A and B are shown apart, each in its own frame.
Chain A
Amino acid sequence: MSSRHDERLRSGRPNSGSHSQQTEEVSSPNAPLQGVALERELAGAPDREFTVAARSQWSMVARRFFRHKLAVVSLVVFVAVVLLAFVGGTLWHYNYQDLTGDYSVGPSAKHPFGTDSSSHDTFAQVLRGTQRSLEIALFVAVVATAVGTVYGSIAGFFRGWSDSVMMRIVDLFLTFPTIAVAAILGDQLGPRANGWLWIAVVLAALIWPYVSRVVRGVTLSIREKEYIEASRALGASNSRIIARHVVPNVIGPVIVTITILVAQAILAETALSFVGFGVKAPDTSLGLLVSVNQTAVQTRPWLFYFPGFFIIVIALSINFIGDGLRDALDPTQTRVRA
């Protein structure tokens, strides 16, 4: 896992030349890779006393992240939950709609999370609910981040009146509580075919303005940096500056935002389903399961605690991953000098 992750992050290295984070590494444009440096040394070429291999920004980020123990543990937990929901659900010997014939029994080897009063297996239901909630959360995070990033970076980069207009539109979105508007739309769209997808679209449509604000702020600060000025002085076009300098530097905060959004989207979806305007039966989600079973908390506590526990585990692990990424991507971070 670790090495694959490392590799994926490393592959982003062609961009690293333009990063402000380079201050920490001893970089040499002639020896970008350790292999190359070694080769030169072996060939007797170096005209210096010692050679220092440059680390790409992404390998440093990965090193810092993997030193953050809580974040790494959270990553493992999160991947485990995802696998459990998407793979485990299909392997488990009960389907979430199966009537098992065991009514309201507590946790046992046969039913690890017990059963409800209609003899559904709660473990199968929780897995299915987790799958649904994760699908919605990931959809919301990806779509809202994509839209918000494009929108925010355009507003921040070009500034002026277009920025003002674009940001006033964002302000309009932020005037209303997300859950209230989502409930109004969810009431109509939830019962449709593929209701969960509609819920995801609604949540994404309401959450992207928050992302665009973050991205605009970052873009505004980046465009004032000296290296942008230098690039412009050298005759670089807008599109080149955006592609080479702005985008790679915005990626860090955006990655952190995605993780926070996944957690927020999970909480928003479950809250929406809880009040009855989100995912509807026969489909199920973690929020719906908590809602349906809240009256059983005293008589059959397993029905209430397990779905809630899954929501917390997912949201908590993602929040810790986000925290680890934030530290790892922070250019001023010096405590963990990898």
Chain B
Amino acid sequence: MLAYAIRRLLISIPIILISTFIVFLLVTYSGDPLANLRTKQPIPPPQVFAKYKHDFRLDQPVLERYWHWITGVVHGDFGPSVEGGGTLNIGHELGHRLIVSARLVIAAMIIAALLAVIVGVVSAMKQYSIPDYAFTFTGFLFLSMPVFWFAVLLKEGAIWLNTNAGTSLKTIGDTSPIVGPGAWAHFTDAVNHLVLPTIALAMTSYAAWSRFNRASMLEVLSSDYIRLARAKGLSRRRVLVRHALRTALIPFVTVTALDMAAILGATIITETVFQWRGMGTFLLDGIRNLDVYVVLAWLLVAALIVIVFNLIADLLYGVLDPRIRYE
């Protein structure tokens, strides 16, 4: 098991290297990083261009540039940034924004997974009942609803509640600029800001996951060993929790990990609507400013997260399913 984990980790290294190189080529050839500078009025003096070219290593061949970048990253240097006149430290900013986004992603994934398991079990137990049809329909509805539209709708709902029911749900930003003293005030402020984006982000994953759980529960419930467990006289509850649910949840672990890339994508949209200063808006601002090293840093982190999650899922699969043995 340990040997397998180590081997998988080692295989991940060349995958990271190849994928970052492809991304590096893609970003390098997708546009001119000096385009915004060229259209500036008045046109900056040639020294400025020369400095940018040097700082961004545009005067070096691509392979050399990639080598400088990837070795820099290993040492914690993510390269120069356009923002703030080149003073922005990408690594520092990335770390800060990663924490902001991680709150949102983790909260949304936990809520989506819990809801999906509950709904999947209820739907499978009472197949073709009214709750099953209702859950199926809402599942399909959320599967078909654009995140951004739902997010704006949530914002509107919150504003309506705030004016009519006296609640104080935060609709914009990840934290308030001024928060009362004490850690508790900071905590409640952060949670308050978290509520709406979490619902928006959770719903997209919930839709697909609840469908998946329903299908896998149905399959397990119709298998022979469940019938045997019931025939032995075990209670419905015990059969459901100890025998059926355990088996049904194993493939679900893999599904959540495989969806990681999609969740990161949905986070970009959610953060845009709620104007969070997280990873998503960091990427979009980077693209708009033609800030190549910001974009590269973002993609690197995203790829790392996806690869690590897949590794964890594979290992967990081995722990949960005794039929699988890694050598």
Write the A167-191 contact mask toward B (1 if CB under 8 angstroms, else 0). 0100110111111110111011000
Q: Is the CB of B284 within 8 A of A263?
A: no
Closest Cβ of chain A to B286, distance in Å, is 9
Q: Choose among A177, A277, A291, A294 the residue that contacts B261 (Cβ–Cβ < 8 A).
A: A177
Q: A88 at interface (Cβ–Cβ under 8 A)? A: no
User: Which residues from B are CB-within-8-Å of A183?
Assistant: 268, 283-284, 287
User: Which residues from B are CB-within-8-Å of A179?
Assistant: 265-266, 268-269
Docked complex Cα distance between A120 and B44 (Å): 40
Q: Is the CB of A271 within 8 A of B26?
A: no
Closest Cβ of chain A to B305, distance in Å, is 10
Q: Contacts A184-B295, A312-B145 known; A171 to B15 CB distance under 8 Å?
A: yes
Q: Contacts A176-B23, A177-B261 known; A290 to B302 CB distance under 8 Å?
A: no
Q: B188 at interface (Cβ–Cβ under 8 A)? A: no
Q: Contacts A172-B22, A185-B30, A290-B148 known; A180 to B303 CB distance under 8 Å?
A: no
Q: Choose among B141, B145, B264 the residue that contacts A177 (Cβ–Cβ < 8 A).
A: B264
Q: A108 at interface (Cβ–Cβ under 8 A)? A: no
Q: Is the CB of A316 within 8 A of B306?
A: no
Q: Choose among B27, B149, B262, B299 the residue that contacts A308 (Cβ–Cβ < 8 A).
A: B149
Q: Choose among B147, B156, B298, B307 the residue that contacts A180 (Cβ–Cβ < 8 A).
A: B298
Q: A30 at interface (Cβ–Cβ under 8 A)? A: no
- A selection of 29 A-B contacts at a CB cut-off of 8 Å is A172-B18, A174-B261, A175-B303, A176-B23, A176-B261, A176-B303, A177-B261, A177-B302, A178-B265, A179-B269, A180-B264, A180-B302, A183-B268, A187-B30, A188-B31, A270-B146, A270-B148, A276-B288, A277-B284, A277-B287, A290-B148, A298-B156, A308-B149, A311-B146, A311-B149, A312-B149, A318-B144, A319-B143, A323-B140
Docked complex Cα distance between A308 and B22 (Å): 35
Q: A297 at interface (Cβ–Cβ under 8 A)? A: yes
What is the interface size of chain A, counting residues whose CB is below 8 A from a CB of the partner?
Answer: 40
Docked complex Cα distance between A298 and B153 (Å): 11
Q: A315 at interface (Cβ–Cβ under 8 A)? A: yes
Q: Is the CB of B144 within 8 A of A271?
A: no
Q: Is the CB of B19 within 8 A of A267?
A: no
Q: Is the CB of A297 within 8 A of B156?
A: yes
Residue of B nearest to A291 (CB): B148
Residue of A nearest to B16 (CB): A175
Q: B175 at interface (Cβ–Cβ under 8 A)? A: no
Write the A256-283 contact mask toward B (1 if CB under 8 angstroms, else 0). 0000000100010011001111000000
Residue of A nearest to B156 (CB): A297
In A233-248, which residues have CB < 8 Å from any B CB?
Answer: none
Residue of B nearest to A267 (CB): B146
User: Which residues from B are CB-within-8-Å of A148?
Assistant: none
User: Which residues from A are CB-within-8-Å of B23?
Assistant: 176, 181
Docked complex Cα distance between A108 and B31 (Å): 46
- Which of the listed residues B265, B266, B269 has the most CB atoms from chain A within 10 Å of its own CB? B265
Residue of A nearest to B27 (CB): A184
User: Which residues from B are CB-within-8-Å of A311?
Assistant: 144-146, 149
Q: Is the CB of B140 within 8 A of A294?
A: no
Docked complex Cα distance between A178 and B159 (Å): 32
Docked complex Cα distance between A275 and B284 (Å): 8
Closest Cβ of chain B to A140, distance in Å, is 15
Q: B111 at interface (Cβ–Cβ under 8 A)? A: no
Closest 5 CB pairs of A and B: A315-B144, A177-B265, A179-B265, A316-B144, A308-B149
User: Which residues from B are CB-within-8-Å of A267?
Assistant: 144, 146
Q: B152 at interface (Cβ–Cβ under 8 A)? A: yes
Q: B81 at interface (Cβ–Cβ under 8 A)? A: no
Write the B122-139 contact mask toward A (1 if CB under 8 angstroms, else 0). 000000000000000000
Docked complex Cα distance between A183 and B284 (Å): 8
Docked complex Cα distance between A168 and B16 (Å): 12
Closest Cβ of chain A to B142, distance in Å, is 10
User: Which residues from B are CB-within-8-Å of A323?
Assistant: 140
Q: Is the CB of A304 within 8 A of B284?
A: no
Q: Is the CB of B265 within 8 A of A274?
A: no
- Which of the listed residues A184, A187, A294, A320 has the most CB atoms from chain B within 10 Å of its own CB? A184
Docked complex Cα distance between A275 and B149 (Å): 12
Q: A287 at interface (Cβ–Cβ under 8 A)? A: yes
Write the A187-211 contact mask toward B (1 if CB under 8 angstroms, else 0). 1100000000000000000000000
User: Which residues from B are CB-within-8-Å of A188?
Assistant: 30-31
Q: Is the CB of A271 within 8 A of B283?
A: no
User: Which residues from A are CB-within-8-Å of B22?
Assistant: 172
Q: Is the CB of A187 within 8 A of B148?
A: no
User: Which residues from A are CB-within-8-Å of B198?
Assistant: none
Q: Is the CB of A290 within 8 A of B268?
A: no
Q: B272 at interface (Cβ–Cβ under 8 A)? A: yes
Residue of A nearest to B147 (CB): A271
User: Which residues from A are CB-within-8-Å of B144?
Assistant: 263, 267, 311-312, 315-316, 318-319
User: Which residues from B are CB-within-8-Å of A172?
Assistant: 15, 18-19, 22
Closest Cβ of chain A to B149, distance in Å, is 4
In A311-332, which residues have CB < 8 Å from any B CB?
Answer: 311-312, 315-316, 318-320, 323
Q: Choose among B26, B152, B159, B258 the residue that contacts A294 (Cβ–Cβ < 8 A).
A: B152
User: Which residues from A are CB-within-8-Å of B269?
Assistant: 179, 271, 274-275
Closest Cβ of chain B to A148, distance in Å, is 16
Q: Is the CB of A275 within 8 A of B143?
A: no
User: Which residues from B are CB-within-8-Å of A319?
Assistant: 140, 143-144
Docked complex Cα distance between A270 and B146 (Å): 8
User: Which residues from A are CB-within-8-Å of B258?
Assistant: 174
Write the A147-169 contact mask toward B (1 if CB under 8 angstroms, else 0). 00000000000000000000010
Docked complex Cα distance between A312 and B142 (Å): 9
Q: Is the CB of B30 within 8 A of A184?
A: yes
Docked complex Cα distance between A177 and B23 (Å): 12
Docked complex Cα distance between A168 and B18 (Å): 11
Q: Choose among B145, B153, B273, B306 the residue that contacts A315 (Cβ–Cβ < 8 A).
A: B145
Closest Cβ of chain B to A169, distance in Å, is 10
User: Which residues from B are CB-within-8-Å of A308?
Assistant: 146, 149, 153
